[in-house]
Amino acid sequence: MTHTPKTGKPRIGITLGDINGIGPEVVMKALLDARMLNLITPVIYGSTRVLSYYKKLLSLEDFSYGQVKTPGQFVPKAINVINCWEEAIEIQPGKPDTEAGRAALLSLKQAAADLKSGIIEALVTAPINKHVIHGSEFPFRGHTEFLADYFSVTDYLMFMVSEQLRVGLVTEHIPLKEVPLFISKDRIQTKLLIMEQTLRREFGINKPRMAVLGLNPHAGDGGLLGTEDDQLIKPVIDDLKNKGKLVFGPFPADGFFASGQYCRFDGILAMYHDQGLIPFKTISFESGVNLTAGLPVVRTSPDHGTAYSLAGKNAANESSMRQAIFTAVDILNVRRGMTDSN
């Protein structure tokens, strides 16, 4: 799979995402951070034409870059750009468009191929619009599912991380009414074990403390508000405790976050998307990062979407994109250290 050099600046691939959203803006602004070129060799997957358009529109005169002519030959002290399509695609800031979706898919496919071959060492993805990219070539609910399929991974974890907290999901992008159908002992245990391995391997926490949220209000209230908490979630927690894992719960989600109880844990497992992401984005908005845990490669992304309402207005905040890049570098450094110690 991917070979990560033990020395030198990591080559970080960055996709532009939906070219009509805020992806290009937050990528450009993040890479203008004076620390970036000393820390990484950035490789943008997208289009020099798109970058030139937004450089002018947003008055980002200091943003400079060079086009990659030969695959894998990057300039270490510069922003490298790989053109993933040749035809002129109309750029329409703030407007969902199928051509922009096709461009985002071309960028993602090229970046994923280079990640698999080791040309780049980590991937940071700018947001896509799942509606305009979805089709026969992209029958997935998002980046996470695409990359899991591309790298032939069955078990993975959508893991939202920040300095304040880390939240993983048992179920990701599915309708709320289907959530109980996907809650099983095996699935909960698999997600917890991926979380534990990630906290140890990627974050250097030798004995992570993990909390599990209940599915139902008040974690089922002893069966009065649902049986899943007692019959599915609690047995997994008890079993992992007996195996020496520091796993606790199930906790009622409302009081868990409102009381600040989350501060006592290294990782938190939520049962469904909004249960985990509403408190995560409330506490860590603009600094949170989406990490796909369980992959053989490193992939991160900002914790926001395309934000069409801000596109082209020079109003987007690049903090989450910047942190996504820093997180990818931190994880690569931990992996390098583990390789050196073996």
pLDDT digits over 73-89, tens only? 999 999 999 999 999 89
Mean pLDDT of 235-253: 97
Identify which of 332, 256, 300, 2 has the alpha carbon closest to the alpha carbon of residue 124.
300
Mean pLDDT of 180-187: 96
Mean pLDDT of 217-222: 91
Task: With cut-offs at 50, 70 and 90, classify the pLDDT of residue 5.
Answer: very low
Pure H helices in the chain: 23-31, 36-39, 48-57, 98-117, 130-133, 143-150, 179-182, 185-201, 228, 234-242, 253-258, 273-284, 319-341
The pLDDT of residue 2: 34
This model's pTM is above 0.75: yes
Mean pLDDT of 213-234: 94
- Buried residues in 279-311 as b, exposed as e (16+ CB within 10 A): bbbebbebbbbbbbbbbebbbbbbbbebbbebb
Domains of the chain: 1-153+297-342 (3.40.718.10), 154-294 (3.40.718.10)
Identify which of 202, 208, 248, 250 has the alpha carbon closest to the alpha carbon of residue 225.
250
Residue 216 tokens, joined: 């139902």
* Residue 240 pLDDT exceeds 90: yes
CA dist., res. 221 & res. 176, Å (int): 20
Mean pLDDT of 169-192: 96
SS3 171: coil
* Residue 163 pLDDT exceeds 50: yes
Task: With cut-offs at 50, 70 and 90, classify the pLDDT of residue 342.
Answer: very low
Which residue has better confidence, 302 or 136?
302
Residues 301-340 have pLDDT tens digits of 999 999 999 999 999 999 999 999 999 999 998 887 755 5
CA dist., res. 123 & res. 15, Å (int): 8
Mean pLDDT of 128-155: 92
CA distances from 134 to 23, 58, 321 (A): 18, 29, 23
Mean pLDDT of 18-32: 98
Least confident range of 3-12, 260-269, 286-295, 308-317: 3-12
Identify which of 294, 51, 59 has the alpha carbon closest to the alpha carbon of residue 154.
294
* Residue 210 pLDDT exceeds 50: yes
Q: What is the mean pLDDT of the chain?
A: 93
Task: With cut-offs at 50, 70 and 90, classify the pLDDT of residue 135.
Answer: confident
